[in-house]
Amino acid sequence: MGETSSIRINQTGYASTLPVCAAVVSDEKIILTDGAGKIIKTVDPIAPGIDEASGDRVRLVDFGILPAGEYRIEAGSEKRQVSVSDDPWQKVTDALIKGLYYQRCGCALEKRYAGVFTHPACHTAEVTEWEDRSVKKLVPGGWHDAGDYGKYVGPGAVTVAHMIYAYLLFPKGCSNELNIPESGNGIPDILNEARYELEWMLKMQREDGAFYHKLTKARFAPFIMPQDDHEPEFLMPVSHCATGAACACFALAYRAYKDYDPDFADKMLSSALSAIKWIEANPEFVPYVNPEGVRTGWYGDKEFSDECFWAYCELFASTGDTKYKEAAEKLYTKGLKLTSYGWADVSGLGALCCLFVLKDRAGEVLYNDLKDKYLGECRDIYELTKRSGYGTALPADRYIWGSILPIMSNAMSMILYGLLTGDDSMKTAALLQWNYALGMNALDLGFVTGFGERSVRNPHHRPSGSDGIDDPVPGLISGGPNKVFPYQENRERFKDIPPAKCFLDETPSADTNEIAIYWNSPAIFVGAYFSSLCK
């Protein structure tokens, strides 16, 4: 990887129909020239203000819309090539979806689909219920959750939901064939890939309707390939949050798959109905805690009203039964954050259902009132971008573990603001978040493996760290800078480093450089939107 440049760009290129923005850490005159060396734009020297999150004196420069071609940005002695084309982001969007294929568990990744990243089937042995060791089951399939080999129901549910909503809203941006085993079966590959997780989640449901929280070992595996990981796996106790998230996701999946495979869709809906019955029969919320002796991902969640809200919205959308609408309304009045779409707070997925699926059917409270509140939250997000030198939709004190999630989530909200209002004023701000993910940031680093001249090389990802191949598995997005919750050993290293630079492209740094399925998925949503604008 080359030295950092003071000219920070979207390293995968720019679209010929959208503004070309770069972040320049320089007070010198900035010159944009085209391929023939003709000056297109100059920006006068100016001493930029300090960006709080990075400590950089940085200028965000909007060069406007440029015809397809090669360009060069100069600032003092620094120069950087910039490429503008008609459809620059389909490849990276497709790769982010295919990234989930590489996370598949329980099957071999065959060479014809996985290329050099091929490996034999993993985690196919019988698993044991943690609480009742006499219960043994076969629960193969699903995606490895992140850098580890665990599989978790709640995170899987939101990942699938991001993908389904991306497909429902922006099919033009995510309908390519991806060379996965199901390609060519008449179903879009994004839905084929999501179904791989859904089939596994179905097996995670107990007969009484509840879902096991996760399927993991007692401890994380060392950095070995998945097929070499033979420690026993356990079905950890059932949880309210896993059951609520799976219920919502399955009710949504029912609608996404019913025209392609009615039998599968019916299975999704009946499983969702059995989950909601369990929830209603067990109204006392018990947050999941890892049983003693279990050290794998906790995914602790102390709030359950958001999972229920999302579930009731999707159930109403799929069944038309007004009792679900009434239940959703009751939860809505408790006050939910409507622009959260991550595993811990899924209220935003319920909001998406109300605003883009139910619409008029949602009624006064769940459409009109909810929409006002939603748009208000979007305006707050937009304000964040104006306070950042890089236009990043994240306050300086919120660079948490997986900061890419709030950044991509906030891009989603600003995109949806435009769809809801017809007002494009937040579109460029949303695009700045996509640019951030692909290199226009304080680290001059693309966070998606395999994309960009300077992108993450050493993600905290067991296959990438143990397959003996120099390149990381492609199409995986790194969690990014983390000032708030770094590992103890990195706390000292980061002590005097500004939040947006607390990052290590080093394999052990799960705290800054892990990958996760539910970070890929909001990026898929954002990539699908911007790619759909390029068709």
Size of the site for Zn ion (CB under 5 A): 4
CB of 533 to Zn ion, least distance (A): 37
Q: Which of residues 225-254 bind Zn ion (CB under 5 A)?
A: 226
Distances (CA, A) of 397 to 6, 333, 435, 484, 499: 24, 29, 21, 7, 7
CB 31 within 8 A of CB 7: no
CB of 79 to Zn ion, least distance (A): 46
DSSP class of 143: B
Contact between 408 and Zn ion by CB under 5 A: the answer reads: no
Q: Is 505 an annotated catalytic residue?
A: yes
| Active-site option among 145, 460, 461, 511 | 460
Beta strands in 90-152 (DSSP E): 127-129, 136-137, 151-152
Q: Which is nearer to Zn ion, 140 or 498 (CB)?
A: 140
Q: How many alpha carbons fall within 13 Å on the CB side of residue 368?
A: 3
Q: Is 148 an annotated catalytic residue?
A: yes
Which residues make beta-bridge pairs with 309? none
CA distance 207 to 219: 27
Residue 86 contacts by C-beta under 8 Å, 6 or more apart in sequence? 15, 16, 17, 68, 534
Token code pair at residue 304: 């359950």
User: Would you say the C-alpha torsion 496, 499, 505, 507 has a positive or negative sign?
Assistant: positive
DSSP class of 505: -
Q: Which of residues 66-105 bind Zn ion (CB under 5 A)?
A: 105
CB of 472 to Zn ion, least distance (A): 18
CA distance 509 to 460: 6
CA distance 186 to 188: 7
CB 511 within 8 A of CB 485: yes
Q: Which is nearer to Zn ion, 81 or 118 (CB)?
A: 118
CA geometry: angle at 94 spanning 72 and 394, to 5°? 65
DSSP class of 446: B
Which residues make beta-bridge pairs with 137? 127
CA distance 246 to 349: 13
| Active-site option among 94, 148, 229, 233 | 148
| Active-site option among 51, 74, 145, 514 | 514
Q: Is 460 an annotated catalytic residue?
A: yes
Q: Which is nearer to Zn ion, 226 or 450 (CB)?
A: 226
Q: Which is nearer to Zn ion, 40 or 224 (CB)?
A: 224
C-alpha dihedral (276, 282, 283, 289), degrees to nearest 10: -100
| Active-site option among 233, 301, 306, 505 | 505
Q: Name the closest residue to Zn ion (Cβ).
A: 105
Q: Which of residues 190-229 bind Zn ion (CB under 5 A)?
A: 226
CB of 107 to Zn ion, least distance (A): 9
CB of 105 to Zn ion, least distance (A): 3
Q: Which is nearer to Zn ion, 151 or 195 (CB)?
A: 151
Q: Which is nearer to Zn ion, 79 or 111 (CB)?
A: 111
Q: Is 514 an annotated catalytic residue?
A: yes
DSSP class of 454: S
DSSP 327-394: HHHHHHTT---TT--SSS--HHHHHHIIIIIIGGGGHIIIIIIHHHHHHHHHHHHHHHHHTSTT--SS
Distances (CA, A) of 285 to 303, 306, 314: 9, 12, 20
CB of 331 to Zn ion, least distance (A): 36
CB of 524 to Zn ion, least distance (A): 22
Q: Which is nearer to Zn ion, 80 or 123 (CB)?
A: 123
CB of 120 to Zn ion, least distance (A): 10
Taking 3-state DSSP, the helix, strand and coil percentages for the chain, each rounded to the nearest 5, stand at 45, 15, 45
Q: Which of residues 98-157 bind Zn ion (CB under 5 A)?
A: 105, 122-123
CA geometry: angle at 403 spanning 466 and 501, to 5°? 85
Q: Which is nearer to Zn ion, 216 or 392 (CB)?
A: 216
Q: Which is nearer to Zn ion, 105 or 139 (CB)?
A: 105
CB of 121 to Zn ion, least distance (A): 8
Token code pair at residue 482: 């983390």
Q: Which is nearer to Zn ion, 123 or 255 (CB)?
A: 123
CB of 506 to Zn ion, least distance (A): 24
Residues interacting with Zn ion, by CB under 5 A?
105, 122-123, 226
Active site residues: 148, 460, 505, 514
